[in-house]
Amino acid sequence: MWRGLGRPESPKIAAVLIAGNWKMFKGAHEARSFTTRIRNLPVRTPGVDVVVCPAFAALQGALEGLGSDSAVRVYAQSVHWEIEGAYTGEVSAPMLLELGASGAIVGHSERRQLFGETDDTVRRRAECALEAGLAVIACVGETETEREAGKTEGVLARQVSFVPAHEHLVLAYEPVWAIGTGKTAGPDVAQETHAYIRSLHPAPILYGGSVKPENAAALLAQPDVDGALVGGASLDPASFEAVCLVAAEIVAA
């Protein structure tokens, strides 16, 4: 069990991390209603670090819904590798910190596949964010073709080699074939792959790929699964809460 990531200055507690990736869903209004509903969720989920990752335009709304005393944290879905500059359409780490965001995802497979993200830009984004004081969730994962060709370990080794080691960085293993498809790496495959990643990098490792309340317990019970990055099932407050409650049961067991 890893020692949870708080805001960089917060004390560490034994914890699992459950992060909801809202992708390009939920504007500011919906984000505010959602977080208003879950602002006290951590009281019912001891040992679980709860994170939501809204689109840039909904960060402020999500933070407003949480108010000043919620333990739920808000991460962006990406962050630029420079502090400022002529980078139209990008958002920097200091801008996120000024809003009150605590961290950022980097290297999500949708960024890699659809927006030209490379191992090197993932590294640069992660390094800049960490240096600025944000926590980071760095995503890695193989495609179905790569897995079928027996290239999973090579792909992961290459991707992980670009991810800096830092006390405020966690990895997310997200097999691309399991994202948004309803296919999940079974607990055994998840465990085996996490153990391999663990041999390469010291960070805690979240599993991501069609995690739902029904399969979360089996995945989170694996010794090298330190939490979950949840896409589709994080869009509905009831199912996101259910995943967090399952995680709390695992922590308490």
Residues that bind ligand PEP (CB under 6 A): 21, 174, 179-180, 208-211, 229-233
Instruction: Say which of 117, 127, 174, 241 is annotated catalytic.
Output: 174
Burial pattern 60-87, b for ≥16 Cβ within 10 A else e, equals: bbbbebbeeebbbbbbbbbbbbeeeeee
Active-site residue, 174 included: yes
Identify which of residues 134 and 229 has a Cβ nearer to ligand PEP in the complex.
Answer: 229
Shortest distance, position 11 Cβ to ligand PEP, whole Å: 28
Catalytic: 166? Answer: no
Instruction: Indicate the angle between helix axes 213-220 and 237-252, nearest 10 degrees.
Output: 30
Cβ-closest residue to ligand PEP?
A: 231
Which C-beta is closer to ligand PEP: that of 94 or that of 187? 187
Q: Shortest gap between Cβ of 84 and ligand PEP (angstroms)?
A: 28
Three-state DSSP at 199 gives coil
In the complex, least distance from residue 193 CB atom to ligand PEP, rounded to whole angstroms: 14
Tell me how far apart the alpha carbons of residues 207 and 225 are, in angstroms, rounded to a whole number: 6
Name which of 80 and 108 has its Cβ closer to ligand PEP. Answer: 108
Residue 177 CB-density burial (10 A; 0-12 exposed, 13-18 middle, 19+ buried) = buried
Q: How far is CA 115 from CA 120, 127, 237, in A?
A: 14, 20, 29
By beta-carbon proximity to ligand PEP, the closer residue of 87 and 115 is 115
Task: Round to whole Å and give the CA distance between 194 and 171.
Answer: 10
In the complex, the smallest distance separating the C-beta of residue 60 from ligand PEP, rounded to whole angstroms, is 22
Q: Tell me the catalytic residues.
A: 108, 174
